[in-house]
Amino acid sequence: MLSFVHVLFVAYQFPPVGGAGVQRVTKLVRYLPVYGITPLVLTVSNPSVPVRDESLLRDVPPGIRVERVRTLEPAYAVKRALGKGVDEIEPRAFTRALRLTSRVASGLLFPDPQVLWLPAAVRAIAKLSRDNPRIGAAVITAPPFSQLLLAPWIRKTLGVPVIVDYRDEWETTLRAGHERPAGETAARLARWLERRIVGRVDAVTTATQEFRAALLDRVPEVDSGRVHFLPNGWDAADLPRQFGQPPHDRFRIAYAGTVMRLTSLRQVVSALRILHAERPELAACVELVVYGRIAPSEAAVFRGAERLGVQLRGYIDHRLVLSELTRSHLNLCVLDEVEGADRIYPGKVFELMALKRRTLVIAPEGALTRLARDNEMGDVVSPPDPREIARVLERHVRAWQAGEYQARVEPTYVNRYERKALAGELAAIVRRVAAHPESTDSSARAEGAAPQPHAFA
């Protein structure tokens, strides 16, 4: 019989916050009890985020304690107004002063504005530890990276081991992934803080093997046996019971996810422009449906794009968007050419695998392109190039017009990424550090040196 271990999760992004970032921690909290791990969740009651998805609350098991505390951040609409670019607002003195205020505030609120919830988080953690003296470990999931500042305090005050769960890389996210990238000074400070914090925690999990290798290079203080590959995944409970059918009168391409610098669709839209200019009769039957929030930095990409058959549907709830993706002939998975893109893959890629719908992967050569090829998900365009994308789309559309198109694929290693099994992997790490917080035994080292993600059958 399993002995139950109580684990504190520190997670700013938690339902009803919407978006891709919330899926990882939510699914771990949902399935860890299967393995004898009882989660307690500390999160924010008034998150300053662009989207909410109430449907995700269904994934939080009844009986799980979720402690919500207030952050001092302004509402997201205020942050967005302060952060608007020159081309989005009139260059009046007042708005220029607001932008200057925003830049100063961004410099002070390091590593991110979510640092403003840490005072309330510290008080809440102290209360949770008094109410639950059986807490055996803590998991801090990032981003936001400001939460990692809690790791030394938790270790010292609560006397429990700490696991840092990385969804994204710290320095790379600061430089390229955010809507407003940080400068060199902030990146250097992040690198220094990361070494100070991560080098002293009991375990680290990373979303890709490439990310794991880069972390070990950046933080030589951390033992390789403490750094584990824990990918994102897909949940059978989220898949539609009945798959839809693509339309017969047009070729539908679909993209789901936030569109920002890292996941820009500028090359795809440029490819559609090429098709309309050079193959207008073919392009007339193509549509691109985008489900997700468009970051302000990417809004210009879509000006006039409705004439190219582009439809912007905005954010829709998670399960509904998966159903919509079954109604396309071709789905997209995209990373733009930004620093660090070769070490990551969007979390949505695993759900695209599980849907078994043909996917066009457009990304720099790296983790995502290897994953796509080894799972035979469909065509890969690397590096992202609009003319090559246009050629691939033309080939797909002509096959569809000829009645020879096959939208279904059979990814090779799809079962490797099932959410319940991944929760079991984290449960094993939790039990190891809870029992031996200072050890890095041979079994831990073996797990840390796991093969590439696509090598799992």
Q: Give phi and psi for 366, each to the nearest 5.
A: 165, -145
Contacts 24+ apart (CB under 8 A), 385-390: 385/267, 386/267, 386/268, 386/270, 386/271, 386/273, 386/274, 387/271, 387/274, 389/267, 389/268, 389/270, 389/271, 389/360, 389/362, 390/271, 390/272, 390/274, 390/275, 390/278
**Pair 160, 136: CB distance under 8 Å:** yes
**Pair 346, 257: CB distance under 8 Å:** yes
CA separation for the pair 199, 219 (Å, rounded): 6
Work out the widest C-alpha separation in the chain, in whole angstroms. Answer: 69
pTM of the model: 0.87
5-233+419-455 carries CATH number 3.40.640.10: no
pLDDT 10s digit of each residue in the chain, 457 long?
566 799 999 999 999 999 878 999 999 999 999 999 999 999 999 999 989 999 999 999 999 999 999 999 988 777 666 554 433 444 455 455 444 444 444 556 788 899 999 999 999 999 999 988 899 999 999 999 999 999 999 999 999 999 999 999 887 777 655 445 556 787 888 889 999 999 999 999 999 999 999 999 999 989 999 999 999 999 999 999 999 999 999 999 999 999 999 999 999 999 999 999 999 999 999 999 999 999 999 999 999 999 999 999 999 999 899 999 999 999 999 999 988 899 999 999 999 999 999 999 999 999 999 999 999 999 999 999 999 999 999 999 999 999 999 999 999 999 999 999 999 999 999 999 998 766 433 333 334 333 333 333 2
Tell me the domain boundaries of the chain: 5-233+419-455, 236-401
User: What are the DSSP calls for 43-64, one per residue?
Assistant: EESS---S-B-GGGGGGS-TT-
CA separation for the pair 124, 340 (Å, rounded): 35
Q: Give phi and psi for 421, each to the nearest 5.
A: -65, -35
Domains 5-233+419-455 and 236-401 share a fold: yes
Give the amino acid at 138: A
Cα 195 → chain centroid = 23
Give the CA dihedral 429, 346, 211, 437, nearest 10 degrees. -20
Task: State which CATH number among 3.20.20.70, 3.90.700.10, 3.40.50.2000, 3.40.50.620 fits the domain covering 236-401.
Answer: 3.40.50.2000
CA separation for the pair 166, 342 (Å, rounded): 16
Counting Cβ atoms within 10 Å, is residue 399 exposed (0-12), middle (13-18) or buried (19+)?
middle
How many of the other CB atoms lie within 10 Å of CB of 73? 20
CA separation for the pair 263, 368 (Å, rounded): 12
Q: Where are the beta strands (DSSP E) in 18-160?
A: 37-44, 65-69, 135-142
Token pair 């300053």 is at which residue?
Answer: 48
The half-sphere exposure of 234 on its side-chain side, counting CA atoms within 13 A, is: 22
**Pair 325, 302: CB distance under 8 Å:** no
Give the amino acid at 347: G
**Two tokens at 62?**
């009844």
